[in-house]
Amino acid sequence: MAAVTKGKGSFIKQASILAAAGILVRFLGFVYRMPLTNMWGDEGNGIYSMGYYIYTFLLILSSAGLPAAISKLVSERIALREYRNAHRVFQASLVISITLGTFFAVSMAMAAKQIAVLSSFPDSYYALLTLCPTLIIVAIMSVYRGYFQGMHTMVPTAISQVVEQIFNAFFSVYLAYILLRTAIPKGASKNIALGVAGGTLGTGIGAAAGLVVVIFSYMMIRPYLLKRAKICRQSHEESRKELMRLLMQTALPIIVGTAVFSITNLIDAGMVMRILTSIGYSEAAARGMYGQLSGKFVTLTTLPVAISTAIATAAIPSIAASMKLKKTDQVNQKMNLTLRISMIISVPAAIGIGVLGPQILHMLFPNAPDGGALLTIGAISIIFLALCQTATGVLQGIGHIKVPVVGAVLGAIVKVILNAVLIPIPQLNILGAVLSTTGCYVVASAFDVYVLSRITHVRFDFMRILIKPFIGSCIMGAGALGVYYGLYHFLPNNIICTLTAIFIAMIIYGVVMLLIRGIGEEDLESLPMGRRIIHILHHCHMLK
């Protein structure tokens, strides 16, 4: 295992960098979503989410598959010391990203009015308009990030993500605050449509700041890259046209697989609104319930998945390079380690959010606290979404990029069927969409992991990957509830009790996992400040 975890360019270290950035980015995301939700409520969340889902779908079509495809192709060529071809991958992908980003940005601008009306959220029109330039900016930025990841350095990507989110957070809140008070419709207290547009405009400003960071990082090392490309000796010179075709062949299955999940979000919105209004809910009530689903449930449950996504992103170039060099043992070790780290983080997050869902919402959104039941029922989906994301990264790394597409399609079919069956049940209503989301990820992740096992003939250590984290998480969840209600009896303050319960729950989980040997040194090394944690645990005789 030492061969896998050591070394400056090891994927575990790079995953740690991205994971740390992902945690900070998600935290900043919560910081600014809290005042936004408190300013415009669940209805504003619904408008914001609808506009953002449409933008995300077009973003996926324009650039979502490029970072993974670029990092895979670049890492393979660098492993063979074909530095000139590696740089040509970067140049070819820039042409593709600018072309696709511009096409979809112009298309969305021209069709924004019609899209907003068809989505049942006509007020999302202004948000769609402000997001158009962001499609081009993010498409270009994805190329630089993919190139750096292919060179096994996640630092520029991590820094750009943090800078992007800082600018996003500040300008989203500031512009939303200003525009909520602009041109207020008669009989209303605020202009929610313009306020949401201010929030999405902040997204574009943040993306522009992130783009500046990655371009600056590239310009710093560009002379070295060009010199290395010029003097390298390689047997085959790949043309830009050849590389563009290879990029699209690699990226297309990734785009399709990701787009399927994005389409399910759009279908979700349409089905939720139509079914809820058909069983007696008013349009305003249906929008509010959809706002709880998209603005609270989705936002909170995808938080821990950022870490598994970072692990999967870092795994792609590393596993691809090991495959290219035919180092089978390293591939097997990296696959098990990647899945284990993802579950060590995702399983306790799911249990924790599930047991303290209502308390967390009351703490984060005191002016709009509804929706706790969605988290209690649906938090388990975190485990399967993280497993799906991680398995997808591994499959892409070993070259089987079409498998996640099939898994995504199967999951989407299950989601649509369950939506149609569960949402009309009056006792479930919006909870039906949460249950269908869980079913979608269960099917997709089970398919991906099963096929991955069959393809690689790797026997996954599910005792350490799933069972031990689940045992530790159940004990942690019981402890969190006990601490919360025990403390609340003496100090009835939700914020203090919730934060205390979360803090003690983290300690309980860590101690239990150490006692049952669910965490080892190789796992701790993947965490921010992992070596320092290992040193402390050795000093306390808690790690052997």
Tell me the two tokens of residue 276: 């809820």
- Contacts of residue 521, defined as CB under 8 A and 6 or more positions apart, other chains included, come to 534, 543
Give the model's pLDDT for residue 283.
83
Q: Which amino acid is at 280?
A: G
Q: Do 255 and 61 meet the contact criterion of CB atoms below 8 Å apart?
A: yes
**Using CA atoms, how far apart are residues 74 and 116, in angstroms rounded to an integer?**
39
Give the model's pLDDT for residue 542.
62
Instruction: Tell me the average confidence (pLDDT) per consecutive run of 10 residues in the chain, 544 residues long.
Output: 40 66 77 86 86 88 82 87 90 92 95 88 91 95 91 87 94 93 79 92 95 95 89 82 88 77 75 88 86 86 75 66 74 79 90 94 86 93 90 79 87 92 92 94 93 83 89 96 95 95 95 86 62 69 60
Give the model's pLDDT for residue 313.
64
Give me the helix-helix angle, 240-278 and 83-118, nearest 10°.
30
Count the Cβ atoms, other than its own, within 10 Å of residue 11. 28
- Contacts of residue 482, defined as CB under 8 A and 6 or more positions apart, other chains included, come to none
Q: Do 337 and 12 meet the contact criterion of CB atoms below 8 Å apart?
A: yes
Instruction: Report the sign of the C-alpha dihedral through residues 145, 148, 153, 156, in that order.
Output: negative
Tell me the two tokens of residue 15: 């995953």
Q: Which amino acid is at 278?
A: S
**Using CA atoms, how far apart are residues 108 and 62, in angstroms rounded to an integer?**
12
Give the model's pLDDT for residue 431.
94
Q: Do 181 and 200 meet the contact criterion of CB atoms below 8 Å apart?
A: no
DSSP string, 120-135: T-GGGHHHHHHHHHHH
Hey, is 152 helix, strand or coil?
coil
Q: Which amino acid is at 118?
A: L
What is Dmax (Cα atoms) for the chain? 74
Radius of gyration of the chain (CA): 23
Give the model's pLDDT for residue 14.
66
**Using CA atoms, how far apart are residues 92 and 247, in angstroms rounded to an integer?**
8
- Contacts of residue 202, defined as CB under 8 A and 6 or more positions apart, other chains included, come to 32, 167, 168, 169, 170, 171, 172, 173, 174, 175, 176
Rounded to 10 degrees, what is the CA torsion of 335, 337, 341, 343?
A: 60
pTM of the model: 0.74
Hey, is 520 helix, strand or coil?
coil
Give the model's pLDDT for residue 337.
79
Give the model's pLDDT for residue 422.
94
**Using CA atoms, how far apart are residues 64 and 138, in angstroms rounded to an integer?**
9
Q: How many residues does the chain have?
A: 544
Classify the phi-psi angles of 326: left when phi > 0, otherwise alpha if psi is within -120 to 50, otherwise beta: left
Hey, is 532 helix, strand or coil?
helix
